[in-house]
Structure formats: structure tokens, C-alpha cells
Amino acid sequence: MDTLPCSHACIETQHPAARWHGAAAAPVRLRLAGWRVTLATERFSSRADAYARYRPGYPQSAIDLLAASCGLSAAATVADLGSGTGILTELLLARGAQVFAVEPNDAMRAAAEARLGTQARFHSIAGSAESTTLPDASINLLVAAQAFHWFDVPAARREALRIVRPGAFGALLWNERPARVDAFLVDYEALLLKHAAEYAAISASRADERGMREFFGGTMQFCTFPNQQHLDFVGLKGRLMSSSYAPEEGHPQHEPMIAGLTEVFRRHARHGEVVLRYRTLVYYAQLRPGG
């Protein structure tokens, strides 16, 4: 592996999803023709509200890393690719940056506009990682949070190199649940594997180091930061239903899944809440032509 070490946390040398799910990194990227790019833009249409309300944010330490190592500042122009409901966008705006939030899904983009539309530095763009509509050489920092695994990597790389200025950095972020850190996560993972047929494949497709190196054009650095949510049952259910793999109402697995979730919550809640723990993963590098 040519992942470079990070002074903020330990180096990762194995595909995290492979470690957690027993899968190999490269083959599990969801490359079925037309599925990963086309349907990815549609999968969250019915989940935008839950996504905006119940998905976790990103720790300030991760945003500090973008400022210290990737050029995030009040003078920066940032492209947030697959920006969704604006969870990361909001944190970038708080650092004073101009942020072009590029999102192909109408419902998700509308949620971000409702959340952030009054901020002058927020620009909502109906586009995709493969076709941003942004001008050539206009971007100082390119980010994607919880989204890169949906990209067509070669097309997204070509578009990234077109829109970034020389020397610009890219950063790819995920909130991922660590494996078996507590009994609640063990039971929650088992629930997903039992009732959500797509869960294992979608989870294993994230943080594909080979795809990220292809996108960046060479080596990259990696940092990880702790993150967590304290959720009552409404929040836990909303968090689950914000996920593209969770069976929705009308699906034969939906009611059994919610019944199982109720039991998992009952078993593990303390003072009416459970703690959903994450590792925030940040992969970053300069975008290099001809890598």
C-alpha cells in the first residue's frame, strides 16, 4: 500500500470494509452496468428528510485537518461533490469558504437549499461528480462526504482535474461504524445483515483504496477521528431509514426489521438512548494529472 501516514491518527493499510465484513477491496465495488451511477442519483429521493435529520455530522477535528493540510480557508472555493442535504457543506461554510454544493438528487438538493439557502457563500448546483457544470480551474479544494463509492471513478477524475486549480487537494470522508466495539453495535450489525439485502455489498464498496488512488492520481494520506451520536428510538429508526439499503414501508422485510430494531433498542438503551459510534475516515491528497 502507498497510503501515507498521518500525524493525527494511525495509518490504515487494509481496506476497512474488507476488515469489517470479510470482503476483498477491489471486487466489491458495485460496478453493475448503470446501477452505481444512475440509480445512485435516485436512491435517496424518499429518504432526504431522514437523511437531513438523522445522519451524523463530522467532528471539528476532521474539518481542522482540511484547514491545516488541504487548503480550507475563508479564501477557498470548495466543490462538495454528492453534497446531499448539506451536512458537510454547512461545516465548510462555517470556515468562511465559498462552497459549490453539487448534488444530482432533486430531493436531497432541495433539503440542502432549505437548510443553507440564506447563506451568501452557498451555491447549490444540479450536477454530479462526473458532470459538475463548474468552470475550468475554479476550485481550490474538492471534497466528497459519504459519496465517493457512488462515483464513476474515471469520469469523476477527469471532471475533477478539469475544475481544480493547480496544486488543489481533494478529500474523501466517511462516517463508518467500527467493528464490534460494543454489544449494541454487534446486535445492530446483525440486524442489518438479516433484513437489508444490500447492506453488505454497499458497505463493502466504501473506502476502496485502489479506487481512491486512481481518483487522486497517486499516493494519499489517511486520518481517522472518533465520532458518535446519542439517539432515542425515534432517532435510531430515522438513522436506519436514512440508509439506502434499509427496506422501506411496503417491503416484506420492513416490519420485521423495525420489530428487531425495537428489541435491540430495548436491550441496549440507557436513560432512553443508545450511542452509535463511528470512525470518521478522511483520505486526502493533491489531485495529480497523469497518475
From residue 151, give the alpha-carbon distance in Å to each of 20, 89, 99, 144, 167. 22, 18, 20, 10, 22
Task: Render each residue's pLDDT in the chain as its tens digit; 291 residues.
Answer: 444 445 444 343 333 332 222 222 232 333 333 334 345 555 555 678 888 999 999 999 999 999 999 999 999 999 999 999 999 999 999 999 999 999 999 999 999 999 999 999 999 999 999 999 999 999 999 999 999 999 999 999 999 999 999 999 999 999 998 876 799 999 999 999 999 988 888 776 667 899 999 999 999 999 999 999 999 999 999 999 988 899 999 999 999 999 999 999 999 999 999 999 999 999 999 999 975
Q: Cβ contacts of residue 264 below 8 Å, gap of 6+?
A: 184, 187, 188, 191
Q: Cβ contacts of residue 3 below 8 Å, gap of 6+?
A: 11, 12, 13, 209, 219, 220, 221, 222, 283
Instruction: Name the pTM for this structure.
Output: 0.84
The set of long-range contacts for 31-38, using a CB threshold of 8 Å and a minimum separation of 24, is 36/150, 36/152, 37/128, 37/130, 37/150, 37/151, 37/152
DSSP 238: H
Q: Cell for 172?
A: 474523501
Instruction: Measure the CA–CA gap between 62 and 200, rounded to whole angstroms.
Output: 26
User: At CA 88, angle to CA 126 and CA 59, rounded to 5?
Assistant: 170
pLDDT of 201: 80
Instruction: Measure the CA–CA gap between 73 and 207, rounded to whole angstroms.
Output: 26
pLDDT of 193: 94
- We find that the CATH architecture of domain 3-286 is 3-Layer(aba) Sandwich (3.40)
Q: Cell for 103?
A: 448534488
266, burial (CB in 10 Å: exposed 0-12, middle 13-18, buried 19+): exposed
Residue extents of the structural domains in the chain: 3-286
pLDDT of 28: 31
DSSP 12: P
Instruction: Measure the CA–CA gap between 116 and 93, rounded to whole angstroms.
Output: 9
Supply the DSSP string of 92-141, one letter for each residue.
HHTTT-EEEEE---HHHHHHHHHHHTT-TTEEEE--BTTB--PPTT-EEE
Contact 154, 214 (CB under 8 A): yes
